[in-house]
Amino acid sequence: MKHRTTLMRTAAAILLAGGGLLAGTPAHAAATACSGSACDGKDPSVYCQGDARTVQSLRLGQALLELRYSPSCRAAWARISNAGYDTRDQFTPYATVHRNSDGREYSCSVPNGDTDCYTRMVNDANVTSYAKGMWDSGARIYEDRTGSY
């Protein structure tokens, strides 16, 4: 009996020391998973980045606007990149994800000194969404939206 108790304690210590690995899956994977409506408003880099792909994109001058989608999460978000700007003479670039069924939106603005940002996610299960955004070149303002996905 003492051997079994020691073995169980040893196994528990190994699991805890190994970061909670169980059957080759990190313990945080279950805690960070979401799907559909459970993903609304959540950070895609924490929850759904693993299988994310760009499903729609377009250029706003030099900036790239993307509609990103995660099939496992069934959620979408917008990302803008290469969107540097000068706060003295340009507007702050932004990206917005818009869910068509109810108009739910999440937006991000590129932080001063940075070149990209991404929005929170919207549930995209059995509905469609699109990304919209803006980048100011200093000489011209580019504003547009992607197709829906």
Alpha helices in 48-113 (DSSP H): none
C-alpha torsion angle, residues 128, 134, 135, 140 (rounded to 10): 130
pTM reported for the whole predicted model: 0.79
Residue 42, helix vs strand vs coil:
coil
pLDDT higher at 38 or 15: 38
- When pLDDT is averaged across residues 21-47 and rounded to a whole number, the result is 70
Indicate whether 95 pLDDT > 70.
yes
- When pLDDT is averaged across residues 15-22 and rounded to a whole number, the result is 35
Concatenated DSSP letters for 72-88? TTTEEEEEEES----TT
Beta strand 94-99 pairing with 63-70: unpaired
